Amino acid sequence: MKLSVVLPCFNGAKTIAVQLEALTKQHWLEGWEVVVVNNGSTDGSMAIVEQYRDRLPGLRIVEARSSGVNLRKGAQQARNQG
User: What pLDDT shows up at residue 23?
Assistant: 97
User: What pLDDT shows up at residue 2?
Assistant: 87
Question: What are 55-65's pLDDT values in tens digits?
Answer: 998 999 998 86
DSSP state of 11: S
CA 57 to CA 55: how far, in whole Å?
Answer: 6
pLDDT at 77 over 80: no
Structural domain boundaries enclosing 28: 3-81
pTM over the 0.95 mark:
no
- Taking Cα atoms as reference points, which of 73, 10, 19, 81 lies closest to residue 45? 10
| CATH number of the structural domain spanning residue 63 | 3.90.550.10
Domain count, the chain: 1
DSSP 18-60: HHHHHHHT---SS-EEEEEEE-S--SSHHHHHHTTTTT-TTEE
Query: Phi and psi for 80 in degrees, rounded to 5?
Result: -60, -40
